């Protein structure tokens, strides 16, 4: 079992998924949808509604290795969706949740063992000394544009091509196989307390920016209401910076999932990426409120 008072290593997080699949096999299953560069599993947990034509909702964490709070927060959400299923609204019980808590297992382990502030995956780049591709610049929608590094030694290196990395490729293939089922997509990052919506590749609003903004604000209000922190809502390139090849842009632009968000969790900069584990529960609670709010609006 996982506790939410310290950060866990990959094996523990994955073990916790398997444990749920074994004790709740009537509605929970775990699937290895691919392998990382170094051969670690990309594990996905499906929390099923039991309805064959259910709407689906995507959640992921652990894209950037050092953003440990996202792995812990997504684990917390999984625990809530399973253990407190009966107290969940009926409409949310009718959704199939597909959740990957650790998108970048190699980077996550590396940030525990070698370099706490590691960001990218662990790709050995051809002809270069520097290791790693930024998985959040590697997605195949407007890949390689503004805010994406061309050179392997950059922290925002977008890779050798769109979806060149096994970690992004596995998830893209999985989602595209059932893309029309997905109504919502939330990818967790840290830090800054933002609810961001596309586009991220340039300072450009999507045609449905008004809807995106409205639902983002509902989510921020739900977070606050749950006793959580203040989150700012806005277009990602406008509020933060332009960065192309992001998962959120791909989900909206390529997979056509309307309600696609990046949520940057706590904090506001006091601890930054090195957020103490004592924040896991509060982060989990507010993030779960955001997921419930977005999912409700999306279906």
Count of residues in contact with ligand 0X9, rule CB under 6 A: 13
At its nearest, how many Å lie between ligand 0X9 and the CB of residue 259?
15
Answer yes or no: are the C-beta atoms of 132 and 125 closer than 8 Å.
yes
Q: Can you say whether the dihedral through the CA atoms of 105, 111, 115, 119 is positive or negative?
A: positive
Answer yes or no: are the C-beta atoms of 22 and 12 closer than 8 Å.
no
Instruction: Count Cβ atoms below 10 Å from residue 180 Cβ, excluding itself.
Output: 11
The reply on whether position 265 binds ligand 0X9 by CB under 6 A is no
Query: Measured at the alpha carbon of residue 93, what is the angle toward residues 288 and 90, in degrees to the nearest 5?
Result: 100
Bridging pattern class, strands 182-190 and 56-60: parallel
Q: Which is nearer to Zn ion, 54 or 240 (CB)?
A: 240
The reply on whether position 64 binds Zn ion by CB under 5 A is yes
Q: Can you say whether the dihedral through the CA atoms of 249, 250, 251, 257 is positive or negative?
A: positive
Q: At 43, which helix (H) or strand (E)?
A: strand 41-47
Residue range at the interface with ligand 0X9 (CB under 6 A); choices 1-9, 212-220, 245-253, 291-299: 245-253
At its nearest, how many Å lie between Zn ion and the CB of residue 136?
6
Annotate each residue in 119-158 with x if it binds ligand 0X9 (CB under 6 A) or - if it does not, as one string.
-----------------x----------------------
Query: Measured at the alpha carbon of residue 134, what is the angle toward residues 30 and 163, in degrees to the nearest 5?
Result: 65
Catalytic residue among 80, 165, 264, 286: 264
Q: Which of 14, 169, 189, 266 contacts Zn ion by CB under 5 A?
A: 189
Q: Which is nearer to ligand 0X9, 14 or 189 (CB)?
A: 189
Binding-site partner at residue 200 among ligand 0X9, Zn ion, none, CB < 5 to 8 Å by type: ligand 0X9
Q: Which is nearer to ligand 0X9, 111 or 262 (CB)?
A: 262
Q: Which is nearer to ligand 0X9, 20 or 246 (CB)?
A: 246
Phi-psi region of 23 (alpha: psi -120 to 50; beta: other; left: phi over 0): alpha
The reply on whether position 246 binds ligand 0X9 by CB under 6 A is yes
Binding-site partner at residue 71 among ligand 0X9, Zn ion, none, CB < 5 to 8 Å by type: none
CB-neighbour burial class of residue 48 (10 A; exposed 0-12, middle 13-18, buried 19+): middle
First to last CA, the chain: 31
The reply on whether position 266 binds Zn ion by CB under 5 A is no
Answer yes or no: are the C-beta atoms of 189 and 252 closer than 8 Å.
no
Determine the Cα–Cα distance for residues 96 and 47; give it in Å rounded to an integer. 6
Which residues lie closer than 8 Å to 23 by C-beta, 6 or more apart? none
Question: Does the annotation mark 264 as catalytic?
Answer: yes
The reply on whether position 64 binds ligand 0X9 by CB under 6 A is yes
The reply on whether position 248 binds ligand 0X9 by CB under 6 A is yes
The reply on whether position 122 binds Zn ion by CB under 5 A is no
The reply on whether position 243 binds ligand 0X9 by CB under 6 A is yes
Q: Which is nearer to ligand 0X9, 229 or 240 (CB)?
A: 240
Q: Among residues 67, 85, 89, which one has the least CA distance to residue 136? A: 67
- Binding region for ligand 0X9 (CB under 6 A): 64, 136, 189, 196, 200, 236, 240, 243, 246, 248-249, 262, 264
- Residues serving a catalytic function are 264
- Binding region for Zn ion (CB under 5 A): 64, 189
């Amino acid at each position: 079992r996982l506790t939410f008072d310290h950060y866990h290593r990959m094996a523990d997080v994955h073990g916790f998924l398997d444990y749920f699949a074994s004790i709740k096999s009537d509605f929970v299953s775990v699937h290895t949808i691919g392998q990382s560069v170094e051969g670690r599993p990309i594990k996905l947990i499906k929390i099923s509604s039991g309805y064959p034509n259910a709407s689906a909702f995507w959640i992921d964490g652990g894209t950037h290795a050092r953003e440990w709070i996202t792995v812990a927060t997504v684990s917390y959400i999984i625990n809530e969706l399973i253990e407190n299923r009966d107290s969940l609204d009926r409409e949310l019980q009718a959704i199939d949740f597909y959740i990957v808590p650790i998108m970048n297992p190699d980077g996550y382990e590396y940030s525990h063992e070698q370099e706490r502030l590691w960001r990218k995956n662990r790709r050995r780049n051809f002809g270069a000394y520097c290791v790693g591709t930024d998985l959040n610049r590697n997605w195949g929608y407007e890949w390689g544009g503004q805010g994406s590094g061309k050179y392997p030694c950059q922290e925002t290196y977008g890779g050798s091509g769109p979806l060149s990395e096994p970690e992004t490729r596995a998830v893209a293939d999985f989602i595209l196989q059932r893309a029309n089922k997905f109504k919502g997509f939330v990818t967790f990052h840290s830090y800054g307390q933002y609810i961001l919506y596309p586009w991220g590749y340039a300072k450009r609003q999507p045609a449905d920016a008004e809807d995106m903004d409205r639902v983002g604000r509902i989510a921020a209000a739900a977070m606050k209401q749950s006793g959580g922190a203040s989150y700012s809502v806005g277009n990602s390139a406008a509020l933060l910076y332009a960065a192309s090849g992001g998962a959120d842009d791909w989900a909206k632009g390529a997979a056509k999932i309307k309600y696609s968000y990046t949520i940057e969790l706590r904090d506001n900069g006091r601890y930054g990426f090195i957020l103490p584990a004592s924040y896991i529960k509060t982060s989990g609670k507010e993030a779960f409120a955001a997921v419930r709010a977005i999912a409700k609006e999306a279906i």
